[in-house]
Amino acid sequence: MNSTRGAAGAGVASLALLALVSFGPANLPRLDELHVDPMALGFALLVAVGSSIVFGLVPSVQASRVDPGAHVRDGARGSSSAALARVRAAFVIGQFGLALTLLVGAGLLVRSFINLRSVEPGFDPEHVVSATLFLPRSRYPGRAALAEFHREMEERLAAVPGARNVGAISNFFLSSLPGMGGITVEGRPDLDERTREFPVVEDAASTDFFRAAGMELVAGRTFTEADGPESTRVAVVNEAFVRIYLADVDPVGRRFLWGAAQGADPPWVTIVGVVRDARRSGLDQPVRPSGFLPMSQSPARRMDVLVRTTSDPLAMVPDVRRAITAIDPQLPLTRVRTLEHAVAEGLAQRSFVMGVLTAFAAAAMALAAIGIFGVMAYLVGQRTREIGIRVALGADRGNVLRHIFAEGMLHAAVGLGLGSLASLGLTRFVRSQLFGLEAIDPTTWALGALILLAAAAVACLIPALRGARVDPMVALREE
């Protein structure tokens, strides 16, 4: 029987692993390499068989040591061994403690994920196709070749039916190590220390990029055709840049330069506009101060191209490919996708972890409920004669019901108390996965405790009702 159950468990584990791999995010490293390890499976089967033997052997040994006289007296009282009762209670308490620990962890991740989904990204991902390309130096050696490619690419993409805005930026989704550097703000030597603490992301963006990305302009202007390679160097900055460096002044018209000011005539950059903050490093990451330079003044070899459409963006993917391939058939075009899909990919891993932990929490809660139901049903069965005598002597059935119910709920309450302590330790491991939420959250704990108490109440109520309905004469005849 034990081997059969172990084999069934191995089959369930294999199916669960297949489901895990199938529903896991594609960008999770080495997820497809997961498999049921034979050594781990053998160890699990050994533990299952060993635990069955141990937990079957211990009661047998205890039963062999029972004093027959004491057993008869215990039977007369209708009670089971106190030691066995404590063991059963300990198992129920442990199950509820584990269930609460996992349920609190899952609740924290679920609430954190909901908070994350409600964050405004600072750009509009709907109806946008994005693609990444790199212009090799061998075919595009200098500024003139790069500028010519940018011009022709924008013209061809703008001519695609359904295209509303076309833009390009050196790196739309910032990596963990984007191009960043210190700046010098004109006339503000007091900011030197702050510039070292908060380096600025340097981006090159095309004239229509901000409209293509749906980034709102809050002050000044964006780039125009007049911002050519020979004109005054200009930049559009984000709100984080203004908060850190120019919070007390009007930023439009202020000047800064990358690095330290050197020479009599350094290449100062004039701020011409301010745009809303965009969470380009991920919805759960802080916004970095950014300075956008015109693509015409700082042409980029590596770029993300955005095409905002008036129709289904996926339907336009082939047209976008053809338009760029028509310029250079050898140019590799990668990561062609909708902007909505790109944002969803950033949330995929967090959603996957949340789902796995929630499944474990649900399983633990189910085991805890089944455990307390089984124990309570067994205890009621053992006390059938006692209940019958109590009722025959005039005990109120409601009191019997409340007594049995309270006993089971007491076990659940003690388990929840121990689980609360364990959940405090768990929060240290999930802290890095939380967003907009404290690791010790009373609301999440209270909700998890209420769910488990409800499960415990149902598990206790059914055996208690069965015990309260015991016919005294039937109970006495069974004894």
- Per-residue burial over 368-406, b if 16 or more Cβ lie within 10 Å, else e, is bbebbbebbbebbebbbbbbbbbbeeeeeeeebbebbbe
- For position 290, what pLDDT does the model report? 93
* Spatial contact of 273 and 215, defined as CB atoms under 8 Å apart: no
Q: Is 46 helix (H, G, I), strand (E, B) or coil?
A: helix
What's the one-letter identity of residue 187?
A: G
d(CA 438, CA 431): 8
More confident residue, 189 or 160: 160
Residue 477 has which token pair?
A: 């005849």
The pLDDT of residue 106:
77
Band of pLDDT at residue 227, cut at 50, 70 and 90: very high
Return d(Cα 275, Cα 216) in angstroms, integer: 6
State the Cα–Cα distance between residues 23 and 208, nearest whole angstrom.
Answer: 38
For 65-130, where are the alpha helices, taking DSSP H only? 68-77, 82-117
CA 136 → CA 149, 156, 179, 195, 305, distances in Å? 12, 20, 19, 33, 16
343-372 average pLDDT score = 73
Whether 367 shows a pLDDT value over 60: the answer reads yes
Element (H, E) at 336: strand 333-338
Contact 473, 391 (CB under 8 A): no
Interval 163-170 mean pLDDT: 93
Q: How many CB atoms lie within 10 A of CB 16?
A: 12
Strand-pairing partners, residue 333, are 133
DSSP letter string, 267-328 = --EEEEEEE----TT-TTSPPPPEEEEETTTS--SEEEEEEEESS-TGGGHHHHHHHHHHH-
Task: Answer yes or no: pTM beyond 0.75.
Answer: no
User: What local confidence, expressed as pLDDT, does residue 186 receive?
Assistant: 85
Both tokens of 267, joined, read: 């290449």
Q: What percent of the chain is modeled with pLDDT above 90?
A: 23
Q: How confident is the model at residue 33 (pLDDT cuts 50, 70, 90)?
A: low
Q: Could you give the CA distance from residue 101 to residue 448 in angstroms, rounded to a whole number?
A: 9
pLDDT at 79: 45
Bigger pLDDT: 361 vs 244: 244
Question: Considering the chain, what is the average pLDDT of its residues?
Answer: 79
Number of helical (H) and strand (E) elements in the chain, helices listed first: 14, 12
Q: Give yes or no for residue 301 having a pLDDT over 80.
A: yes
* pLDDT tens-digit map of 391-434: 666 767 777 777 777 877 887 888 888 888 877 777 777 777 67
Q: Which residues contact 137 (CB under 8 A, 6 or more apart)?
A: 301
